[in-house]
Amino acid sequence: MYRIGCCVLSIIPRRTRERILSKKNRLDSYRPLPPALVAQLREGLLVEYTYSSNAIEGNTLTLGETRMVIEDGMTIGGKSVAEHLEARNHPEAISFTEELASQSRPISEEDIRKIHSLVMRGIDPNAGKYREWGAKISGSTFSPPPSHDVSVRLAELLNWLSNNTDEHPLIELAAQLMHRFSQIHPFTDGNGRVGRLLMNLVLLRAGYPFITNITYRDRAQYLKALQEADMGNPKRLVGLVARSVENAIDSYLRIIEEPRILSLAEASRRTNIDADYLGLLARRGILPAFKRGGRWFVSEEELQQYIETVRRKGGKRPSL
């Protein structure tokens, strides 16, 4: 974010920011969501997030294999013990992050160490403990602080987080927290995973949905964005996080607002418009219908929009 005089300019373009806020307001209008729906969404997103966050760091389990490890307790041949533990550990770390999000108290160093201990349990003998030597971030020219400064730097980071919520737009605050945490690099391993959970902690506390996922397919862009942020330009990273937040909201809205799909025969009965005529409209692209299994279908919303268009034209149907 850039400051000019007394004004703060957001990195996120105004249209993008307004679109995300509009979608979040739509989602909020459906709250409280039915518990069964929340459970359904959470189950799928938890697996997808676990897969992506681990895959970004080099875990070779596929999405399907990650699901089998988490949901069925299966062991996948040819995969390491550490890869299995990374998949099994992450859901508990996510649940702990959700628990922290429900609390109003400031985030503490103890919370961060606990998240790390859950992520790296059984993998790193120093899980939950700060590194005791220097560190090098792979692919980055940035050098983390010496180990004896880690606790001080984390305390400064958490103080910055507490005191800058009014200065930084929320999504940018979450993105920059993740980046600044990665620069401190407080642990021997697992810093990326913990940083992305801290980002989600900030977003969850602000009412954004479970869970914002930086996907594995965005890995190259994500790593490049972190490098640019290291050089003082967080624009790409903030933009990536903003798109990820919007995708998380969209995943909820797609299920909540899933349109009722009608066959053209059903649409004909609803509107008293001949089904053959609707089919002609569909083939000409006038009615936004789609084919499935050789038959034409249209959503209730698109059908209603067509009827409204005809009504505004005085009941005159389009010439074909």
* Lookup result for tokens 């490890």: 69
- Is residue 190 within 8 A of residue 112, CB to CB? The reply is no
Give the Cα separation of 31 and 26 in Å (integer): 9
Calculated CA dihedral for residues 214, 178, 115, 205, nearest 10 degrees: -80
pTM score, whole prediction: 0.79
Per-residue pLDDT of the chain (320 residues; tens, 9 = 90+): 323 223 344 789 888 999 999 999 999 998 998 888 888 889 889 999 999 999 999 999 999 999 999 999 999 999 999 999 999 999 999 999 999 999 999 999 999 999 999 999 999 999 999 999 877 666 667 788 999 999 999 999 999 999 875 667 899 999 999 999 999 999 999 999 999 999 999 999 999 999 999 999 999 999 999 999 999 999 999 999 999 999 999 889 888 877 677 889 888 988 888 999 999 988 888 888 888 777 888 888 788 888 888 888 776 655 55
DSSP letter at 141 equals: -
116 given a catalytic annotation: no
Give the Cα separation of 238 and 16 in Å (integer): 12
Give the Cα separation of 51 and 62 in Å (integer): 7
What CATH number is given for 2-135+143-256 in this structure?
A: 1.10.3290.10
Calculated CA dihedral for residues 302, 306, 311, 315, nearest 10 degrees: -150
Judged on CB neighbours under 10 Å (0-12, 13-18, 19+), 136 is: exposed
Q: Which of 84, 90, 168, 185 is catalytic?
A: 185
Closest of 304, 306, 301, 260 to residue 282, by C-alpha: 306
Dig out the tokens for 25 from the structure.
């307001």
Helix (H, G, I), strand (E, B) or coil at 164: coil
Bridge-partner residues for 263, per DSSP? 297
**Domain layout of the chain by residue ranges:** 2-135+143-256, 261-312
Judged on CB neighbours under 10 Å (0-12, 13-18, 19+), 125 is: exposed
Helix (H, G, I), strand (E, B) or coil at 314: coil
Dig out the tokens for 48 from the structure.
């997808």
